[in-house]
Structure 1
Amino acid sequence: MAITASMVKELREQTGAGMMDCKKALTETNGDMEAAVEFLRKNGQAKAEKKAGRIAAEGLCRVAVKDNVAAVVEVNSETDFVAKNETFQTFVDAVAVQALSSDSADIDAFLAEKWNEDASKTVKEALTDKVAVIGENLTIRRFEKVKEDNGCVVTYVHGGGRIGVIVDAETSVVNDAVKEALTNVAMQVAALNPKYVTRDEISAEELAHEKEILLAQIKNDPKESQKPEKVINGIVEGRINKELKEICLVDQVYVKAEDGKQTVSKYLAEVSKAQGTDIKLKKFVRFETGEGLEKKNEDFAAEVAAQING
């Protein structure tokens, strides 16, 4: 039986499954609509695709590391309850291992890869299977892989999986003391969320833009705007330096500093001297679960009240 576009459209509207999945289902069932729906349900695709519109802003970040290669992934769920589910956690761990061996440049290519745990499926199909089992919309949102040939990479997971961090450093010595120091730095990244490793990463244009904003703030202040230009410029520079100390990792006060003043840069210099090396931070990756995603505000009482009033 010939499968028409209108048949595919009808099945898609009934199930919410993807267009190609609907066409395949109709082909496999010789155009029988009911059988095609059953085909999609059995394969978990109807159930999964119906949930695809829901916001998945909870979930977990997981890391994997082997032979100086590290990967971090974020896999989202709709609820925190599912994020605590062992089946979900095992799946996220497997996604992290997949990312560790992946050469994909983006998430679409990653989802199209053969699933390491079952080569008959793609990563996306493995995800679809988990959606059917768990019963919530799940998304593999992002991943990043870091390889270091002349040093060391370490990973750190904070808050049971809320935050995943990779720190990459160049060093001629890789021992327990160096790894511990870099793990401490990874904890710093998780806690204080810097934007850059050093000030050198900030473009001249971005610095100029920040100064422009600060200058405008001063000019809009009745008291500060009356100060001499030289004083105003000094205020701007002072505020810029203060901001850079907060957003640049090496300039931040080390969270474990006994004197409350030692910077990350000075801490690493101290460890480098003790271990006979020069630890140079190259980059860090920090994923926080749900970062930048809009979370649905569940207020059952308000929902019921709205229905009654409506």
Structure 2
Amino acid sequence: MKNIIRIAVQKSGRLSEDSLSLIKECGIKFYNGTGKLKSTSTNFPIEFLFLRDDDIPGYVADGVADLGIVGENELVEKDKTVEVLKKLGFSKCRLSLAIPKGENYPGLSYFEGKNIATSYPKILSDFLQANQIKAAIHEISGSVEIAPSIGLAEGICDIVSSGSTLMMNGLKEVETIFKSEAVLISHLNLSDEKKEIVDKLLFRMNAVQKGKSNKYVLMNAPNESLDKIAKLIPGMRSPTILPLAQKGWSSVHSVISEDQFWENIEGLRAAGAEGILVVPIEKMIL
């Protein structure tokens, strides 16, 4: 199938929800009913494979899927040869070391000669080796947090988001060894036809993500302050300035990053800007 690409997506969970939400925001329509393992878009040349997240790097490396959306933690742990096309900015988490909360933690030396339970033996092994710590790694799948309480290990290495699961199991986070987010990965040897489709998909993703990180702002401002305000909110090229019916005043329109807006809000107010509106952007084409 030369004129269609396959993308592997986690079949359930938060990563799946965020991945499919991004794809739908790109204007790509498809049906993913409960239990469905494959689906084809009705308006874009793409087919979806719904898989376990730890299987996705292998499917892409082997060419069964052309693209995949997967957490960096799974990508690094599986150590498959693929190309990372784009960091997606969602499903952020960290891989951390944790120990019983009543234990004193002097530093990484705590783990010297001890047992650590994890579902990520490669990442953990690389970290320990880089820090010259010798410890026994016990690979287990799921329910890693229970290992210290049943005497299997003195510590664990597992994915952490809020830390609430650790607390519920009497553990405390002591070291972050890897930070992860969702990434879009690609098979290394795509045909020119498939590369062209991938470029169109990336264009849409970039437009959606650029829109999310920027805001459309408009405000009324005295004409004598326009130069100062234009420097605070330069926009993509320069602000749009329109005269108001009231003499000596103008309406200023611009697009800026949300962080930039909050950094400059006091300066805008000090320059006399009034009636400041901040509007979300659905998509942004540069």
- TM-score interval for Structure 1 and Structure 2 normalised by the shorter chain: under 0.3
Q: Identify, as 1 or 2, the structure richer in strand.
A: 2
TM-score of the superposed pair, with normalisation by structure 2: 0.23
More helix by share: 1
In the superposition, the TM-score normalised over structure 1's length comes to 0.22
